[in-house]
Homo-oligomer: A and B are copies of this chain.
Amino acid sequence: MSTEAPLLLALDLTGTFLFALNGAFTAVRHAKLDIVGVISLGMITALGGGILRDILIDDLPPATFRDWRYLVVAAGGGLAAFFAGKHLDKVAWLITVLDAAGLSLFAVTGATKSLAFGLGAGQAVILGAVTGVGGGTLRDVLLRQVPTVLHSELYAVPALVGAAVAVVATSAHVYGAPAALGAAVSCFLVRMAGVRFQLNAPAPPGGKAGGR
A82 contact set on B, CB distance < 8 A: 204
Interface flags for A39-55 (1: CB within 8 Å of B; 0: not) read 01100000000010001
Binary interface encoding of chain A residues 12-42 relative to chain B, with 1 for a CB under 8 A from any of its CBs, else 0: 0000000000000001100111111110110
- In chain A between 184 and 202, which residues have their CB closer than 8 angstroms to a CB of chain B? 200-202
A201 touches B34 (CB 8 A): yes
Shortest CB-to-CB span from A41 to chain B, Å, is 6
> What is the oligomeric copy number?
3
User: Given A56-B61, A60-B56, is A204 in contact with B35 using a C-beta cutoff of 8 Å?
Assistant: yes
Apart from A57-B65, A85-B207, A142-B150, list 8 A-B contacts with CB within 8 A.
A33-B150, A34-B202, A37-B150, A38-B204, A85-B204, A86-B207, A141-B141, A142-B147
Q: At the interface, yes or no: A101 with Cβ under 8 Å from chain B? A: no
- Asked whether any CB of chain B lies closer than 8 Å to the CB of A68, the reply is yes
User: Chain B residues near A32 (CB, 8 Å)?
Assistant: 203-204, 207-211
**Stretch in contact with the other chain, from A119-127, A163-171, A173-181:** A119-127
Q: Which residues of A contact B (CB under 8 A)?
A: 27-28, 31-38, 40-41, 51, 55-58, 60-62, 65, 68, 71, 82-83, 85-86, 117, 119-120, 122-123, 126-127, 137, 141-147, 149-151, 154-157, 200-212
Q: Which residue of B lies closest to A209 (CB)?
A: B34
* A/B interface sample: 18 pairs, CB < 8 A: A27-B150, A31-B211, A32-B204, A32-B209, A34-B202, A34-B210, A35-B201, A36-B149, A36-B156, A40-B149, A55-B60, A56-B60, A56-B62, A56-B65, A68-B120, A83-B205, A142-B150, A144-B145
Q: Which residues from B are CB-within-8-Å of A38?
A: 204
